[in-house]
Amino acid sequence: MKKLKSVLLLMGIITFALALTACGGTEDKASTDKKETAKAETKKKADSNELGDYKVEILSSEVVKDLSGKDAIAVKTKFTNNSKENISFMVAIDQQAFQNGTQLTTTVAADGGLGGSEKDVQPGGSLEVTSTYTLQDTQNKVDVEAKELISFSKNSVKKSFELK
């Protein structure tokens, strides 16, 4: 008789648990996910050039010669410091260029300058800097990508340049 009571009690508990589960409200997860994705995309579009405390706009490019006479691309970028301390582009931002799926090597322009990337920018200030990369060829496009140098964020600013 004790076994029968135990089995009935166990069955009652299971039935009660199933009833509670069935009575629970259903959340339309798909619509919630769509709303969250839409909010994230809107925020991403609004802040497309924001990289943490900095704003980066990749402006233009020009095919030039580097210090050793090789073909290179000079990429002009506007850097705005929205942090609370002075900082330079080269310390705040990691900018890379790719051609044919491979990273291009940073080089020095024929004039020997660093393009202003080493200059500190005060909070709220902006500076146009030029970064130079050795080209693999002068036919195929170059993709430029900038991201915050020290960050866990995956945000980046990208721009492609046709060389033809």
Max distance between CA atoms of the chain, in angstroms, equals: 99
Residue 31 φ/ψ, nearest 5 degrees: -70, -35
**CA neighbours closer than 13 Å in the CB half-sphere of residue 135:** 24
Q: Are 65 and 28 contacting, i.e. CB atoms less than 8 angstroms apart?
A: no
- pLDDT of residue 4 exceeding 80, the answer is no
Give residue-wise pLDDT tens across range 88-121: 999 999 999 999 999 999 999 888 878 999 999 9
Give residue-wise pLDDT tens across range 27-74: 555 555 555 555 555 444 555 899 999 999 999 999 999 999 999 999
Domains and CATH numbers, the chain: 50-152 (2.60.40.1240)
pLDDT classification of 1: cutoffs 50, 70, 90: low
Task: Look at residue 42 in the predicted model and tell me its pLDDT.
Answer: 46
CA distance 7 to 137: 79
Q: Which two tokens stand for residue 119?
A: 């200059």
Higher pLDDT among residues 19 and 96, named by residue = 96
